Amino acid sequence: MTEWSSPALVLPWLRGQGLHVAASATLDAVRDALFASGYLIAHAHTGPGRSRQDAYRSLAAALRLRQSAADNLDAFADALRELPDLWPETRRLVLLWTGADSLVRTDLLAWTMLGKVLVETSDYLWLPDDERGLVFDTIAFVPTDYGADHP
């Protein structure tokens, strides 16, 4: 059985659960600390001027989701439930998402809905009595002036 964990236990300055928003300048420190704590790391990047489908596509590719996950948010949400099967070698997975501020700037509704799906997935996947339980968190990196967490 996997014990519950959170990136905030490793990096106490992170707030939230399931989805954290961190300053871009902390990426290396976050990655190194989580890797040293036994997290497997997936990395996605979304750049400026990209659509919500581009964001879904980047996150889906980083998480090894099927291609149809980029079609819409419902398909993305459904595919996220397969993470334990797609990452059988780990019980702690963190998605590091750089360039997340581009979606905040261009499509705040998409950012909000995607964040909700990521948090719900984190809650859904953690089944403490299930051998397949997966600790899954996302850390979205944005500029410090976006109200990001930092040490």
Distance, CA of 79 to CA of 65 (rounded, Å): 6
Task: Note whether 13 and 32 are within 8 A (CB).
Answer: no
pTM for the model: 0.92
For the cut 90, the answer to whether the pLDDT of residue 136 exceeds it is yes
Q: Delimit the domains of the chain by residue range.
A: 7-146
Residues facing 42 on adjacent strands: 95
pLDDT digits (tens, 9 = 90+) for 13-58: 998 889 999 999 999 999 999 999 999 999 999 988 778 889 999 9
Distance, CA of 133 to CA of 104 (rounded, Å): 31
Residue type, 66: R
pLDDT bin (cut points 50, 70, 90) of residue 1 is very low
Residues with Cβ within 8 Å of 149's Cβ and at least 6 positions away in sequence, in order, are 13, 14, 15, 20, 21, 22, 23, 26
pLDDT bin (cut points 50, 70, 90) of residue 2 is low
Tell me the CATH class for 7-146: alpha beta
Torsion 111-31-147-145 (CA) sign: negative
pLDDT digits (tens, 9 = 90+) for 49-89: 778 889 999 999 999 999 999 889 999 999 999 999 999 98
